[in-house]
A and B are shown apart, each in its own frame.
Chain A
Amino acid sequence: MNKTFIVAKNEFMKRVKTKWFIFTTLLGPIVLVGFFTVIGFVSASAIEGGESTIVVLDETDRIAENLSDPEGDMTFTVSDADEETLRQQVLDGEYNGYLVLPAGLITGDEGARYYSTEGGGVSSFNFDLRSIIRNTVRQLRLEDQNVPSEVFEIINAGVSLDTIKLSEEGEEQGSSAAYAIVGGIMGFLIYLTMLIYGSVVMQGVIQEKMNRVVEVIVSSVRPFDLLMGKVLGIGAMGLVQMTFWAGLIAAGTLGSGAIISLFIDPANMDLPDTATQAEVLDAVGFQVPELGPEVFIFFVIYFLLGYLLYSTLFAGIGSAVEQQQDAQSLMVPVMMPIIISIVFLQAVIEAPNSGLSVALSLIPFTAPIPMVVRVAMIDVPLWQMAASLSLLIGTFVGAVWVSSRIYRVGILSYGKKPSLKEIIKWMRYA
């Protein structure tokens, strides 16, 4: 244990002093926030799709003049030209597309047709266009029946849905969207750090073996102590970083209201420009989430256990090879569960209580990411928490046993890259 501590201290100190560590600790959150912001902007602009001009061939002579886009992205021009001319104009790029409104549209006997070089597909543009036409046609239909315009306004009045989280302690005001965002960020952080710190451990093992330092070290320390020292030392480094980041997330959550309101234009919410931040947030149904300290405690615990489990396995793999590239094929089976849990991240966020979510958060190899998401979003039943933790700890102990047996043979084996079968054989050596 004493030697383990010396190794851990050395691993910790020599990494914490590096520029890399200081840089990633301080800049990690900025990069992460930047990353999500870019994704947000890119997907937002992809959805909006920019401005387009549409030429309309209106056989009813009533609809075209009433068409208008409340968001102002679409401009409609009425034309008397025949379809063949319009077709050519669209192909030449004069218009984004042409819209044919047949005479039977108002009575519902015929449908509108939109021709463009981009074709159909599921885009918000098609959705918006359809809704503009529908609204105009409906209004005309009502007018034809002499229904007062007030009725139309009543029909069109917005209907809102508030989602409120129900828990043992009572109702919580926070919107589940906010919890989902926090949970998603936490799950993603665990994913990143398990991979990054895990590969730091693996690299360390490979380097020690490549440098041949390892032979001197194991003449002073048992391989098991060396392995544990490495894993714990690098884990301590990770813990420092994660605690710092967890603090930032906590602070960020408290300040999230201010951040969200920056991205929202009050005009879009039918609010005056002078609306206060609270009014804006209220309008979008966002409330600052109230996260208990247990969310952050479980975040750190699951990070630690996930890291310990995977870094131990990565260390075992690292000991078997002499070069980083040789490790790739051996890493695939170990990486699968991590990838599975990140692939299902969305599904867990959407339904944190589903059978899939519960199963993923119980299976030790996939547990850390979905469980953290669930803890942030809902009250996870105690039995699930206990089962997940004990399975994870048990699996970690098993991983240590397997890896240390591979490790003590691997670090002294040079030459041909071993196959998985050979590595399994090593475990049976005395």
Chain B
Amino acid sequence: MHTLQVQGVTKQYEKVLAVNNVSFEAQPGRILGLLGPNGAGKTTSIRMITYITIPDSGQILFGGQKVSPKSQEIMGYLPEERGLYKKMKVGEQLMYFAELKGMPKSEARDAIKYWLDRMGALDWVSKETNELSKGMQQKIQFIATILHDPKLLILDEPFGGLDPINSDLLQDVILELKDSGRTILFASHRMEQVEQLCDDICLVSRGEIVVNGALNEVKKRYGKNTVMIDFEGSDAFLDPLEAAGDVRVNVRSTRHAEIRLLNDTPSKKVLQAALEHVSDITRFELVEPPMREIFVTAVTEQQGEQALEPQTEGGAA
């Protein structure tokens, strides 16, 4: 099967340790969310998986084989920084990308037609790329990524710049590919999308893995310690709680707050404080922390530790 295995991989640039002994796996039929702050080493990891660069130590296997020019042909990579040839026509451009992936011309022609039709872009086939809007170019680039029917898909912020309708269309295609057994790596800073799409997550910070595992298990690990409260009236009740160190307020808006309970503070205490001040409570729920919260907690914990060490390591893109 087409499992992606990253085993003890390290990559150093000059004095920067971009990726430090990282190991994780991505399974076919599942979506792995590759998360991490800017400069955490995500792009470096992706470049090693796609065989653009080579690790200093450790190895990367796909389907049990070391990654190579051959494995490149069964991978599709959509980088965060989008790019197409401006002066080339959409059809010619897609044909070129398909040929570079080793696809026979006739097969490529059919696939181009199918996907352009599917993405509602058949009319653009003989247009030059620079005539297209940003969203249209985005769709074309996505087609270029999946045209050759890759076994491994690496999507870095695939929804950036798309309107809700096109986002839904893209999401349908991604889920369809997942269901047909593709291995998918999904890199994003949009935590709500990660929660919607990912089966597993791998969170890296400063070149090291800080959280790794199935999304629901990771959430369980953090326990039900977050209060979601919707209310009418003043949110002033939050201030004394925060000042006393009982809670940390993660999200605070006019009628909604997300509160992390600290030091085993019972949720009842928050409810009581709220009842005294607000005019009405429309929702009060104790939940597992959202992905956003896990991200922030894990990264600050790890970087707090390292902040004490001498700063020889930095982040590399």
Interface core residue of A211, A213, A220, A412 (most chain B CB under 10 Å): A220
Q: Are A6 and B100 in contact (CB under 8 A)?
A: yes
In the bound complex, residues from chain B placing their C-beta under 8 Å from that of A425 are 14
Q: Are A10 and B52 in contact (CB under 8 A)?
A: no
Total A-B pairs in contact (CB under 8 Å)? 60
In the bound complex, residues from chain B placing their C-beta under 8 Å from that of A7 are 100
Q: Are B86 and A222 in contact (CB under 8 A)?
A: no
Interface core residue of B83, B84, B144 (most chain A CB under 10 Å): B83
Interface of B is mostly: loop
Q: Does A215 sit at the interface, judged by CB under 8 A?
A: yes
Q: Are B86 and A211 in contact (CB under 8 A)?
A: yes
Q: Are B100 and A218 in contact (CB under 8 A)?
A: no
Q: Are B85 and A216 in contact (CB under 8 A)?
A: no
Q: Which of A212-237 contact B (CB under 8 A)?
A: 212-222
A215–B101 alpha-carbon span in the complex (Å): 14
In the bound complex, residues from chain A placing their C-beta under 8 Å from that of B52 are 215, 218-219, 412
Q: Are A213 and B83 in contact (CB under 8 A)?
A: yes
Q: Are B47 and A212 in contact (CB under 8 A)?
A: no
Q: How large is the interface on A (under 10, 10 to 19, 20 to 34, 35 or more residues)?
A: 20 to 34
A212–B72 alpha-carbon span in the complex (Å): 18
The smallest beta-carbon distance between A409 and chain B, in angstroms, is 9
In the bound complex, residues from chain B placing their C-beta under 8 Å from that of A217 are 100
The smallest beta-carbon distance between B127 and chain A, in angstroms, is 15
Q: Residues of B within 8 Å of A, CB-based: how many? A: 32
Q: Give the contacting residue for A219; candidates B50, B86, B141; CB below 8 A.
A: B50
Q: Does B54 sit at the interface, judged by CB under 8 A?
A: yes
Q: Does B124 sit at the interface, judged by CB under 8 A?
A: no
Least CB separation from B56: chain A residue: A430
Q: Give the contacting residue for B69; candidates A208, A212, A222, A430; CB below 8 A.
A: A222
Q: Are A212 and B100 in contact (CB under 8 A)?
A: no
In the bound complex, residues from chain B placing their C-beta under 8 Å from that of A14 are 85, 87-88, 92
Q: Does B134 sit at the interface, judged by CB under 8 A?
A: no
In the bound complex, residues from chain A placing their C-beta under 8 Å from that of B100 are 3, 6-7, 217, 220-221
> If the complex has contacts A14-B87, A412-B47, are A220 and B79 also in contact, measured as CB distance less than 8 A?
no
Least CB separation from A415: chain B residue: B317
The smallest beta-carbon distance between A358 and chain B, in angstroms, is 45
Q: Are B72 and A219 in contact (CB under 8 A)?
A: yes
A213–B96 alpha-carbon span in the complex (Å): 12
Q: Give the contacting residue for B83; candidates A216, A221, A222; CB below 8 A.
A: A216
Q: Are A219 and B99 in contact (CB under 8 A)?
A: no
Q: Does B82 sit at the interface, judged by CB under 8 A?
A: yes
The smallest beta-carbon distance between A404 and chain B, in angstroms, is 14
A6–B47 alpha-carbon span in the complex (Å): 22
In the bound complex, residues from chain B placing their C-beta under 8 Å from that of A218 are 52
7 example contacts (A-B, Cβ-Cβ < 8 A) are as follows A7-B100, A215-B83, A216-B83, A216-B145, A219-B72, A220-B100, A412-B47
In addition to A6-B99, A412-B47, 15 A-B residue pairs with Cβ atoms within 8 Å of each other are A7-B100, A208-B83, A208-B85, A211-B84, A212-B79, A213-B83, A214-B83, A215-B77, A215-B81, A216-B79, A219-B50, A219-B72, A219-B77, A220-B73, A220-B100
